[in-house]
Structure 1
Amino acid sequence: MVIVALDTNALMVPVELEIRIFEELELLLPSPEFVIPEPVLQELSSLKNGKGVASRAARVGLDLAKMRCKIIKTENAAADESFLELSYTSQIDYVVTNDLSLRDRLLGAGIPVVGVRGQNTLHIMEP
């Protein structure tokens, strides 16, 4: 089993890019267990109140997170920092994100990152 943490943008992918994120991750990784740091839940909650595709994506992402992910409390209030905190304490094996700066920081910290390649393909980037 591998522990896979999902960033806010990864949870919004089902609406924004029409990717069935959990099903694709289950094909890509062996026996994944999905987690999110609490700040991601807070980000989705604040984004869901807007209008348009982003708010609909956040609502769907929030529902998916509550159904499919274990929520992990972290000391950091910022989502990006919470992923680094979890990586430093060896609580996660992969992070799923399309955030380029977070991706680079995680790869620099030795954490593999799963991201979207092209329009609808997930791929693993190793440190």
Structure 2
Amino acid sequence: MGQAIARAFAADGAKVVVAGREQQLKTLADQIKGPFQMLQDLIETMESGSSIINISSAAAIIGFENRMAYTGAKAGTEHVLREVANEYGCRGIRLNTIAPVLTETPLSADYHRTPGVVDAFVEEYPLGR
């Protein structure tokens, strides 16, 4: 039923991608479940002054076409991390997230091959690179 609804939206012009259930579950496991379980295992052993640095993606905020499972998972992970920072900041545990925009990976390969895309992003970077 979910795929039928997605196809109906797509037929009306919406950019909806019908990802397979296995890929959705893998993405969610990699991007939400993994960091969440790592935090559960690690946080109680940390002392005041400790720091957690998470690597995220600007996709959590701005989104990227045809990457709904990934961008949704990244956004969910960032929210979990904000909650951890809120809960454990009083214990002196710091949590920072680094969110690069267009890092060259297999997931972003299509963007890197499309003429002008990388240049458009670089123009917006404060350091221009």
What TM-score do you get using the length of structure 1 for normalisation?
0.29
Which structure shows the higher strand fraction?
1
Q: Specify which structure has the higher proportion of helix.
A: 2
TM-score, with structure 2 as normaliser: 0.29
